[in-house]
Structure 1
């Protein structure tokens, strides 16, 4: 009796202790899920009987996301496969990352990340029995149920075909207690503990049959690139990253930022010239309540997207870079540019999440698409009680190769501050079904409205080839002391920007003296516009000075050495002929404001035998004819842009130019004469 009472007391104590052991509920595990992606439309459960895989919806910081639950009980097999919009492109670099949780008490068999082009597509799964699941195959490898000697090719045919798999194995299938239960439980006779490995499930080389004579036949799996003794089933979420380098056909994988392992994938296993493959997860469980959970935080990109941001100070007409200064009251433009670069699918249902700095008061926002359509964005109401942190907006248009760009523009005004105020950088996010991208906003400082005063000494003319010496003085209007640190002069010569001049710390405070190279100047008048900027980007009003470059030449740049008048057919009456191919070009490079004058004299037209033509050369100015002879005749008078060619003959109309007129007494023959051109400057009045 005493012994019976003792065992009864022991049993009661055991039950009592068991009752107070805290159990982690399913809800508790999902609550600890890391931040991840919304997978709606991107994955679907495999289409086969008894598939245990589901997608659970959870909320993280107001964001709806999914947790894939592959197994949650004993004797289960689960698979979750990518939909056509979420294929894995083997011809471009790609990356996948996920969080996995295998529990810490009721542990399943693990899971496999699978790339496959099995003819069954969404129905692909390892062969399994009607009653019992063969856990060691993880839903992707061959199924070992053979009692007799069998070829490895036979078991390979029961795996997912045309596939590659990375397994995270949480149960060492080594034949069971003393190896007494080997069949369907011997894949892991070499690994010592939980492990990670890669292989081709449908390849006979992946399997080796053991046994015979003194032991049962069973298959052992040949693990490639194995990482052994991993603490996978410890109740924690583990981060797995896979990176594919298409040019080298190398897949690397890293668990929890540990050592990175690499393996080559022969892409011909998926079929010749296969570009996109179905991918996903498979898992099995033989233990009751064994949960296998996955959260994706990055998916392969069937599309290539680029996002960029340009912040422009519209008031100062300059780009705002990292660390820049703007003035209180300056108008700022934030322009986000989303670009669809490449892909098989459209980027759709894009959600924009944009930071709205408290120190910038936004008044207008809109989106303009490459196809010309526009949409207005409603800004959040500012109740002045709390700062609005972010702008959330769903893009109404999809991006694709036909509509590759979206320009999101926000216009705002920098707050007017009484002391320098720092605006922090932040991240802008754009998330669609196929991918998520982000871009950073620049940090900058809003400064008080102090201004800079710049004075420049008057300039006179300079000779051609000489630089212009700019001298002046900078002062601050608030009367505060300052030094030359960060003080600079920006300038433009005839609209072209020159290289900013930085004031030297060795010079007197605010003293300006620098050269504008002769190469930046043109003959004649030059407009030089200067503006002073302080270190905190306070700036002066523009100051414009004029300098004249003189000393060039007034020249006949091009004159025809020979010109032939059109042949005249003598009929006993007066005839008229004009020159052919005559060209006279003037170039005034002096820089003078005066005009120039072109005159001409001519000799009589005579034959080689000395006979003089009965006729003369004339200049026709449109109203009258003036004979060319010993006295100079004005041909043109112009004031031209320095250094610019002026083609005199090209400006003649049909009623202007040189004319040859003969009298009825003209005798046939070949006549020659000389025209002399005289170019001079017209004295200024």
Structure 2
């Protein structure tokens, strides 16, 4: 297999937003505003905030309630803790919604930590607290000047600004006194504060060191008690007389770390940190499960399990790459007066760098604890993930929505059900624990769309703790895998999701038998007809109800139908002249019935005679032209099409043969500031879009049809046809002049 390389340049010029038409002027969205807009347009399903929470009342708090802009969710609000530099914010549960430290609790939420990756600052924290300031509780900053806000505190940890303290114990106490008192915090730390030398140490920028003064390598999730002096480790650095004292945070657990992250810098056994872990432009689901007496009832210790990324933000499917840790909770440190309660909420802070910190709540402790499950039965047996069920099987799909506990009823529950594919559902019934049934009328009763949306008629409560939505139907006559389907049940007090199992439909045992001998080489310049038989087993189909689908050397061929004029179950498969290449060829064939049943595949190896012309080659003919993109930033995601003039020729002088074109792109970088572009180069063709990276990706395949060829790769490119090279820009792209190098690789695949 031959391989040829050719290099080209990509040039990109981006300007700011221009006013158009009758608009006198237009303000360009900042990257932070664009990121906030994107986050609000993709909020997952949650519950209203204002009914259950108060914004922090400190004069410094910037927290606000902002409505979701996602049309696919209902009754959802988000808390925006920060959205700029030098900000701090807090949101606290209303007094009647305090966290009960003496009862088992479950709460969950979605958190958004911006899209700044290694430029993020600084994160947020989930907090339980009994600070005397109540809703006014925040870190005690040294000044009311917002520019004195230290982002590393996240609004809950203490302030480390006494660099000339000589005693380590006094340093620990000093920092702890400025934190939120009587508190436990679970931090989502997106920015590393790692000053650790006499030259670099200054106020409040050293929390992310270990006890040996080594910087941590990446973003992390971990917990401890911000008002406890033992949560801070005192460091000192000096050179003869000059010295500086500074503190790092100590965690009660190893926390949650991405796989790429190492423990300490300089350790060869650990790779570099993963800065795409938290601030990556994605919503992350968090569940906290508290067990009041699990650890040690005699010492008043509870236990908290926190799980991160336990639901996919796009599909809602549970348990994708869930990371989980369990820690003890010392109730006395949170609740020294023994009230058994604690305010709970979130704090967040930024310093000189910015970050959008957002929270969407979907389950609140002591309000309503509910869940939902989906059970699929085929032929009366429960279907689990990966099971195989027979086509034509009768099925029953039950969704059970359950009220487990709470202080109020679970009201106005909207069922938004996505039914699994390849099943024809005929009936739906809704039955409550109290014996009442819901009438399903109108469009709700139409199950052919694969969607079922219905407002449940009865709230769930202690008196009516569950409702079952039951569907019956039949597996269609199609084979293949059926993906999990996600459904939501959203009320004003809680929101929950569930998924059906992934399963496979077993095809009937149809098969193909070849009658034509295939051991000898075929003359490639002549058409080839292959004759065979279809074994249908006990199935009854006419020839005209069958067709053959095939793939030659991995390329899909046109369908070929069987004819009723031939013998029953006999087929004649035709290969046009010059379809085979010299040497080995692979042919895969399946027979498909009119109603979608598919046979087992038949694999054939066919040998094509050598090309009688005896020559020819494939290669690039000349260098590629520069690719040029120009555009105006709008503050929203957009795609730019490459300007006219680009050409890349591939010449193949062989009569038969095939080749593949691959492309890889170095990161687009502003040649003045060296800033990386917030965007990607995308190659679009009839088979779909391909995002180009620094790893070679196939973008085009070509096969000669009995004569040589000279192909200009860009001939089929056009913005109208949505084909060719496009530059996708995120809403946070910054104006500038960017350049990169694209490597074109030509593979001889004949």
- TM score, norm. by length of structure 2: 0.46
Provide the C-alpha distance between the structure 1 equivalents of 2:443 and 2:149, rounded to a whole number of angstroms.
55
String of CA shifts for 1:43-100, please: whole Å, max 9, x gaps: 5432221312234434447225555432222221112334568765554374646444
Structure 1 residue aligned with 2:500: 440
Q: For residues 130 and 400 of structure 2, what CA distance do their matches in structure 1 show?
A: 36
The secondary structure found in structure 1 opposite 2:67 is strand
1:85–1:369 CA distance, 2 compared to 1 (3 A): farther
Structure showing greater Rg: 1
Which one of the candidate residues 350, 374, 381 is aligned to 2:413? Answer: 350
Q: Which of 33, 47, 52 is residue 26 of structure 1 equivalent to?
A: 33
**Residue of structure 2 in register with 1:402 after alignment:** 463
Aligned to 2:646: none
User: 2-side partners of 1:420 and 1:230: how far apart?
Assistant: 46
2:333 corresponds in structure 1 to: 269
Please state if 1:291 is matched with 2:355. Answer: yes
1:62 to 65, 72, 84: 72
Q: Would the alpha carbon gap of residues 326 and 32 (structure 1) be closer, same or farther in structure 2, given more than 3 Å must change?
A: same
| Partner Cα separation in structure 2 for residue 114 and residue 73 of structure 1 | 22
Q: CA 1:29/1:89 → structure 2, altered by over 3 Å: closer, same or farther?
A: same
Change beyond 3 A, Cα 1:111–1:324: closer
Gaps of 5+ in 1: 1-15, 449-478, 483-685
- Where does residue 152 of structure 2 map in the other structure? 136
CA pair 46-351 structure 1, distance change in 2 beyond 3 A: same
Does residue 75 of structure 1 match 2:89? Answer: no
Match of 2:113 in 1: 101
SS in 2 for 1:279: strand
Displacement after TM superposition at 1:388 (Å)? 1.8
Q: Is contact 2:425-2:448 (8 Å) kept? A: no
Contact 2:172 2:232 in 1 (8 A): yes
Contact 1:367–1:376, Cα closer than 8 Å, also in 2 = no
Find the partner of 1:192 among 212, 215, 237.
215
The verdict on how the C-alpha distance between 1:138 and 1:311 changes in structure 2, with shifts beyond 3 A counting, is: closer
Deviation at 1:120, TM superposition (A): 3.6
Residue 282 of structure 1 corresponds to: 347
CA distance in structure 1 between the partners assigned to 2:274 and 2:88 by the alignment: 23
Alpha-carbon spacing, 1:100–1:446, altered in 2? closer, same or farther (3 Å): closer
Alignment match, 1:202: 227
Tell me the distance in 2 between the aligned counterparts of 1:127 and 1:217.
Answer: 20
What is the alpha-carbon distance in structure 2 between the residues aligned to residue 481 and residue 22 of structure 1? 63
Q: Aligned pair in 2 of structure 1 residues 312, 122: CA closer, same or farther (>3 Å)? A: same
1:488 aligns with none
Shift of 1:161: 1.9
Deviation digits for residues 164-213 of structure 1, max 9, x if unmatched?
A: 11223344445588546634444445351444342210112223556697
Structure-1 separation of matches of 2:108 and 2:444: 39
> Aligned residue pairs: how many?
424
Provide the C-alpha distance between the structure 2 equivalents of 1:95 and 1:112, rounded to a whole number of angstroms: 15
Residues 56 and 66 of structure 1 are in contact (CA less than 8 Å); yes or no, is this contact kept in structure 2?
A: yes
Deviation digits for residues 252-308 of structure 1, max 9, x if unmatched?
A: 5566759765543323322266655433321211226x1233455864654443545
- Tell me, what secondary structure is at the counterpart of 1:225? coil
Whether contact under 8 Å (1:414, 1:446) holds in the other structure is: no
Distance 1:366 1:300, change over 3 A: closer
Residue 632 of structure 2 is matched in structure 1 by none
**Structure 1 residues 175, 122: CA separation in 2 closer, same or farther (over 3 Å shift)?**
same
Q: Which residue of 1 aligns with 2:130?
A: 117
Alpha-carbon offset, residue 396 of structure 1: 3.8
Residue number in structure 2 paired with 1:222: 250
Q: Residues 456-467 of structure 1 correspond to what in structure 2 (within 5 A)?
A: none
Following superposition, the deviation at residue 144 of structure 1 comes to 3.9
How has the CA–CA distance of structure 1 residues 237 and 275 changed in structure 2, closer, same or farther, with 3 Å as cutoff? farther
The superposition leaves residues 94-137 of structure 1 with CA deviations (integer Å, 9 ceiling, x where unpaired) of 46464443424763232222222334443321112211223332
In the TM superposition, what is the alpha-carbon distance from 1:327 to its structure 2 partner?
7.2
Q: 1:261 to 1:232 in 2, by over 3 A?
A: farther
Query: Is the 8 Å Cα contact of residues 118 and 191 (structure 2) preserved in structure 1?
Result: no
Give the match's secondary structure for 1:78: strand
- 1:334 and 1:85, CA in 2 relative to 1: closer, same or farther beyond 3 A? farther
The 5 A counterparts of 1:309-348 are 319=380, 321-322=382-383, 336-348=399-411
Higher RCO (CA < 8 A, seq sep 6+): 2
- Choose from 154, 177, 198 the match for 1:157: 177
Q: Residues 354 and 429 of structure 1 are in contact (CA less than 8 Å); yes or no, is this contact kept in structure 2?
A: yes
Partner of 1:236: 280
5 Å-filtered alignment, 1:549-628, equals none
CA change 1:392–1:84 in 2 (3 A) is farther
2:58 corresponds in structure 1 to 48
Relative to structure 1, the CA distance from residue 158 to residue 312 in structure 2 (aligned partners, 3 Å threshold; closer, same or farther) is closer
Mapped contact 1:353–1:393 kept (Cα < 8 A): yes
CA contact (8 A) 2:152 2:205 kept: yes
- 1:367-418 Cα distance to aligned partner (Å, 9 max, x none): 5452x555423341788xx9322121222432222332334456x6769x8x
- Cα displacement (A) at 1:219: 4.5
Sort the Cα spacing of 1:373 and 1:230 in 2 relative to 1 into closer, same or farther, 3 A: same
CA distance 1:120–1:369, change in 2 (3 Å): farther
3-state secondary structure, aligned to 2:84: coil
| C-alpha distance in structure 1 between counterparts of 2:287 and 2:46, whole Å | 19
The aligned residue for residue 452 of structure 2 is 391
Given the superposition, is the C-alpha separation of residues 442 and 230 from structure 1 closer, same or farther in structure 2, using an over 3 Å criterion? closer
Aligned-partner Cα distance in 1 for 2:183–2:59: 21
Give 1:18 shift.
8.9
Structure 2 residue 187 is the aligned partner of structure 1 residue 167: yes
Q: Secondary structure at the match of 1:265?
A: strand
- C-alpha separation between the residues in 2 aligned to 1:173 and 1:392? 48
Tell me the distance in 2 between the aligned counterparts of 1:437 and 1:407. 14
Distance 1:95 1:88 in 2: 10
Question: Structure 1 pair 481/393, CA: closer, same or farther in 2 (3 Å)?
Answer: closer
Local SS of the residue matching 1:36: coil
TM-score, normalised relative to structure 1: 0.50
Assess if the C-alpha contact under 8 Å between 2:416 and 2:488 holds in 1: yes
Per-residue displacement from partner, 1:459-508 (whole Å, max 9, x unpaired)? xxxxxxxxxxxxxxxxxxxx9699xxxxxxxxxxxxxxxxxxxxxxxxxx
Cα distance change of structure 1 residues 333 and 49 upon mapping to structure 2, 3 Å threshold: same
> CA 1:18–1:105 in structure 2 vs 1: closer, same or farther (change >3 Å)?
farther
CA shift in 2, pair 1:241/1:44, >3 Å: same
Q: What is the aligned partner in structure 2 of residue 38 from structure 1?
A: 46
DSSP 3-state at the match of 2:34: helix
Write out per-residue CA displacement over residues 221-271 of structure 1, whole angstroms, 9 at most, x where no aligned residue.
Answer: 434435656434785146475654622344455667597655433233222
1:365: Cα distance to partner? 4.5
Q: CA separation of 1:184/1:295 partners in 2, compared to 1, >3 Å: closer, same or farther?
A: closer
Once the two structures are TM-superposed, the CA of residue 430 in structure 1 deviates from its matched residue by: 1.9
